Structure 1
Amino acid sequence: MPRNSALRRLLLATTAFAAPMVCGAAAFAQTAAPAPAKAKPQDTTEIIVTATRQSQALSKVPLSVSAFTAAKMDIQGVKSFADLAKFTPGVTFNEDRHDVSIRGIESTAGSGTTGIYIDDTPIQMRALGLNANNTLPAVFDLQRVEVLRGPQGTLFGAGSEGGTVRYITTQPSLSDFSGMIHAEGAQTETGAPSYEFGGAYGGPIVQDKLGFRLSAWGRHDGGWVDRTDNNNVGGVDKNANRTDTYVLRGALTWAVTPNLSITPSMNYEKRDQHNHDEYWVSTSNPGNGQYNSGTPDRMADKDRFYLPAVKIDWDLGPVKLIANTSYYNRRERVNGYSGTLYNLSYFEHFTTATTTDEGGNTIPAPTDPQGATPAGCTGSNYGQVGCITGNLLNANGLNLPGFGPYVSTNWITNTQENFTQEVRLQSNTPGARLTWTAGVFYAHNSQRSTEEIRDQQLNALSEYLWGEDILTAWGDTLLPNGDDYINDTKAHDRQVALFADATYKITDALKLNVGLRYAWTHFDYHNINGGSQDLLCGAGGVSIPDNCSDGIVVINGHPFNSVKGGKDETPFTPKVSLSYQFNSDDMAYATFSKGYRIGGATPPLPAAACGGTFPTEYNSDTVTNYEIGSKDRFFDRKLQVSGSVYYIEWKNIQQAIYVPTCGIQFTANAGNAVSQGFDLQGQWQVTPDFDLELSVGYTDAHYTGNAIEHVSGSQLAAKGDVLDVVPWTVTLGAQYNLTINDHDAFVRADYEYNSHRNKPIPTEDPANPDFYDSGLVPNPAYSQMSARAGMTVDKWDLAFYVNNLFNDHPQLNLQHQDNTTALYEATTLRPRTFGIELNRKF
Structure 2
Amino acid sequence: MTRRSANHFAAGTALAALMMADVAMAQAAGADAAAGAADAADSGEIIVTATRKSESINKVPLSVSALSREALDSRGIRNFSDVIRQTPGVSFEKSNTTTNIAIRGVNSSVGAATTGIYIDDVPIQIRQLGYGGGNAYPVVFDLDRVEVLRGPQGTLFGAGSEGGTVRFITQQPSLDVVKVYGRAEGSATQHGAANGEGGISFTAPIIEGKLGIAASGYYRRDGGYVDRISSFTNKVVQKNANSTDSYVGRIALTWQPVDNVKITPAVYYQNIKAADSGESWEAFSNYDKHVFVNANQLAETSKDRFTLASLNVSVGLGAVDVIAVGSYFDRKQAFVQDYTNFDQTLFTGVNALPFFPDQQGPSDFLVAQKNWTGELRLQSNNASSPLTWVLGGFYSHAQQTSLQVVTDPYLPVYLFGAPSPVAGFSVYDQNAVSTDEQAALFGQVTYKFTDKLSVLAGLRYSHTVFTIRSIAQGFVVGPLVDDRGRQSENPITPKFGINYQATPDTLVYASASRGFRVGGYNPQVGVFCGPELASIGYPNGRPTNFKSDSVWSYELGVKSKFGGLGSVQASVYQIDWNNIQQAVALNSCGFQFTNNLGKARSRGFDLQVEVRPTNRLTLQAEIGYVDAKFLDTVKGGPTAAAPFVSKGDAVLGAPWTASFHAQYDFDVFREKGGYVRSDFDYRSKQSKLPPYLNPANGAIDTALTLPPAVAFWSARIGVKPGNFDISLFVNNILDKSTWTRRERASNPFEFFRRETLRPRTFGVTASYRM
When normalised by structure 2's length, the TM-score is 0.91
- 1:792 Cα deviation after fit: 1.3
Contact preservation (8 Å) 1:44, 1:637: no
How much does 1:527 deviate? 0.5
Larger Rg: 1
- Equivalents in 2 of 1:347, 1:282: separation in Å? 22
Q: Alpha carbons of 1:424 and 1:617: their partners in 2 closer, same or farther (altered >3 Å)?
A: same
The corresponding residue for 1:578 is 498
Q: State the match for 1:421 in structure 2.
A: 374
Map of 1:745 onto structure 2 = 674
User: Which amino acid in 1 is paired with 2:123?
Assistant: P
AA of the residue aligned to 2:403: T
Answer yes or no: is 1:673 the counterpart of 2:673: no
TM-superposition CA deviations, 1:208-257 (whole Å, max 9, x none)? 01110110001000110111111159971111111100100000011121
Distance change >3 Å, CA 528–CA 828, structure 1 → 2: same
- 1:490 is matched with 433
Cα-to-partner distance string for 1:162-203 (whole Å, 9 max, x where unaligned): 000011111101111111111000100000000000000121
SS of alignment partner, residue 79 of structure 1: coil
CA contact (8 A) 2:93 2:741 kept: no
Once the two structures are superposed, what CA deviation does each residue of 1:127-149 show, in whole Å capped at 9, x if it has no partner? 11222310001111111111100
Find the counterpart in structure 1 of residue 411 from structure 2. Answer: 458
Q: Using the alignment, how far apart are the partners of 1:507 and 1:234 within structure 2? A: 75
* Cα gap change, 1:606 to 1:58, in 2 (>3 Å): same
| 1:340 and 2:340 aligned | yes
Counterpart residue type for residue 407 of structure 2: R
Q: Which residue of 2 aligns with 1:328?
A: 329
Judged with a 3 Å threshold, the aligned counterparts in structure 2 of structure 1 residues 488 and 235 are, in CA distance, closer, same or farther, namely farther
Could you list the runs of 5+ residues in structure 1 that have no partner in the other structure? Answer: 1-41, 350-390, 471-476, 540-559
8 Å Cα contact 1:126/1:132 also seen in 2: no
Q: Distance in 1 between matches of 2:750 and 2:332?
A: 34
Cα distance in 1 between the residues matched to 2:201 and 2:105: 37
Is residue 527 of structure 2 the alignment partner of residue 528 of structure 1?
no
- d(CA) in 2 for partners of 1:804 and 1:141? 24
Range with greater deviation from structure 2 (560-569 or 404-413) = 404-413
Equivalences for residues 715-734 of structure 1 within 5 A: 715-734=643-662
Which residue identity is paired with 1:87?
Q
Which residue is 1:408 aligned to? 361
Q: Deviations over 1:777-829 (max 9, x none)?
A: 01122312111010012432101100000111123422122463152111211
Q: For 1:608, which of 502, 515, 528 is the aligned residue?
A: 528
Structure 2 partner of 1:761: 690
Measure the CA separation in 1 of the matches of 2:639 and 2:321: 53
Alignment check: 8 A CA contact 1:234 1:297 kept: no
- Offset at residue 741 of structure 1 (A): 4.8
1:496-537 deviation digits (Å, cap 9, x = unpaired): 1000011100111011111110011111000000023322xx
Amino acid at match of 2:431: D
Residue ranges of structure 2 left out of the alignment (5+ in a row): 1-40, 534-540
Corresponding position: 1:433 with 2:386? yes
**1:79 partner amino acid:** R
Tell me the TM-score normalized by structure 1: 0.83
What secondary structure does 1:271 align onto? strand
Q: Is the 8 A contact 1:789 1:801 kept in 2?
A: yes
Q: Which amino acid in 1 is paired with 2:463?
A: W
The match for 1:363 is: none
Other-structure match for 2:589: 662
Deviations 1:617-665 (A, max 9, x none): 211000010110100122x341200010010011111112222332332
State whether residues 345 and 817 of structure 1, in contact with CA within 8 Å, keep that contact through their aligned partners in structure 2: no
Alpha-carbon separation, structure 2, partners of 1:418 and 1:801: 40
Tell whether the 8 Å contact from 2:111 to 2:581 is kept in structure 1 after alignment: yes
Q: What residue number does 1:374 align with?
A: none
How far apart in 2 are the matches of 1:826 and 1:214? Answer: 39
1:370-389 mapped onto 2 (5 Å cutoff): none
CA contact (8 A) 1:735 1:749 kept: yes
Structure 2: distance between partners of 1:404 and 1:45: 62
1:447 aligned to 379, 383, 400, which one?
400
- Residues 534, 43 of structure 1: CA spacing in aligned structure 2 closer, same or farther, 3 A cutoff? same
Cα 1:234/1:573, change in 2 over 3 Å = farther
In the alignment, which residue of structure 2 is the partner of 1:198?
Answer: 199
2:576 pairs, out of 643, 649, 659, with 649
**1:321, 1:405 → 2: CA distance?**
63
Q: Once the two structures are superposed, what CA deviation does each residue of 1:751-790 show, in whole Å capped at 9, x if it has no partner? A: 1111111111111100001x54322101122312111010
Tell me which residue corresponds to 2:20: none
User: Match for residue 158 of structure 1?
Assistant: 159
SS of the counterpart of 1:686? coil
- Shift of the alpha carbon at 1:44? 5.1
The answer to whether the aligner puts 1:315 opposite 2:316 as a matched pair is: yes
For 1:106-160, what per-residue CA distance to the aligned partner results, in whole angstroms no more than 9, with x for missing partners? 0011000000000111000011122231000111111111110000010001000
State the match for 1:384 in structure 2. none
Contact 1:599 1:619 in 2 (8 A): yes
Say if 1:632 and 1:640, in contact at 8 Å, map to a contact too.
Answer: yes
1:133 aligned partner, one-letter code: G
CA distance in 1, matches of 2:750, 2:274: 27
Q: Are the counterparts in 1 of residues 265 and 312 from structure 2 also a CA contact under 8 Å? A: yes
Q: CA deviation at 1:608?
A: 3.1
**Number of the residue aligned with 1:240:** 241
1:684 Cα deviation after fit: 0.5
1:382-397 → structure 2 map (5 Å cutoff):
391=350, 393-394=351-352
Tell me the matched-pair count: 718
**Counterpart amino acid of residue 214 in structure 1:** A
For residues 578 and 639 of structure 2, what CA distance do their matches in structure 1 show? 20
In the alignment, residue 429 of structure 1 is paired with which amino acid?
A: N
Per-residue deviation, 1:739? 0.8
Residue 265 of structure 1 aligns with which residue? 266
Kindly indicate whether residue 688 of structure 2 is the aligned counterpart of residue 687 of structure 1.
no
Could you tell me whether the CA contact under 8 Å between 1:234 and 1:294 is conserved in 2? no
CA displacement at 1:610 relative to structure 2: 4.8
The aligned counterpart of 1:57 is 56
Q: Which range is displaced more, 652-661 or 486-495? A: 652-661
Instruction: Give the letter aligned to residue 582 of structure 2.
Output: Q
Residue deviations 1:325-352 (CA, integer Å, cap 9, x gap):
10000000122x4221221121124xxx
1:227 alignment partner in structure 2: 228
Alignment equivalent of 1:618, drawn from 539, 546, 549 = 546
Distance 1:331 1:620, change over 3 A: same
2:176 counterpart residue number: 175
Among 449, 455, 462, the alignment partner of 1:512 is 455
Distance 1:504 1:234, change over 3 A: farther
**Amino acid in structure 2 at the alignment position of 1:757:** Q
Aligned partner of 2:718 in structure 1 is 790
Q: Which whole-Å CA distance do the structure 1 matches of 2:495 and 2:282 have between them? A: 48
Indicate yes or no: 2:100 matched with 1:99. yes
Partners of 2:102 and 2:721 lie apart in 1 by: 41
Deviations 1:523-569 (Å, cap 9, x if unpaired)?
Answer: 1000000023322xxx2xxxxxxxxxxxxxxxxxxxx2100111010
